[in-house]
Structure 1
Amino acid sequence: DDLVRVQSSFGTAALIVMNKQTDVIKAIQRLISFYKHESCGQCTPCREGISWMHKIMSRFVEGNAEVHEIDMLWELTKQIELHTICALADGAAWPVQGLVRHFRPAIEERMINFKQQQVSN
């Protein structure tokens, strides 16, 4: 009940503990790398969707993206979720949804910092 109240869950029954110094954007991108590798490729939403999520998340790690892509990524996860034969795609979509839901300001800040750094150089 407490997890539902904060819009969270145990998802695939895995619990990852991170301290405040953890780069949560990079951690989720690394998790998506795992799901991309593990996808069998049978279902198009999983095969193509996770690959696309991985590309977007890799740019988010750098900050080399636009703010509207956060919403695009959210919509992508919703198109993947519950549209495949097995639950692997759901397991990939949920951490990204959690990242957007709980850490959107951190993603946006990274994008701003990247743009400022580009202007400085």
Structure 2
Amino acid sequence: MSILLTVGILVLVFVSIIVVLLVLMQRAKNDGGVGAAMGGGMAEATFGAETSNVLSKATIKGAVIFFVLAFALYLGYIYVANRGTSGVLAPEIAAPAAPVTSPQNTTVEATPAATPAGTPAPEAPAPAQQ
């Protein structure tokens, strides 16, 4: 599966380079700019008078291929990452080893609060009789 993902990544890089070149070959609305400098005239000579239609359609198809391939690779990586797990995307939280129980017959004795020096401490309550 990892070989298939590697080949998919190489194809994705190739498609992205093609899409970038297709976008750069297109003429701008004002017939100038980077499109003319990067071979806009050459593309017109190659594809004829309907260059903008051909390049626009090729750009749309290239973009669709790019997004479909990127999504397929994303799903492939999720599959590879969860192949050995239970199929849950979130990490599993370990259960506590033993349940926490509280003793039934315990009394909590109040600890005296800190008092300023020179004042008598309050008396502690008498223990409960059983």
TM-score, normalisation: structure 2:
0.31
Please say which structure displays the higher CA radius of gyration: 2
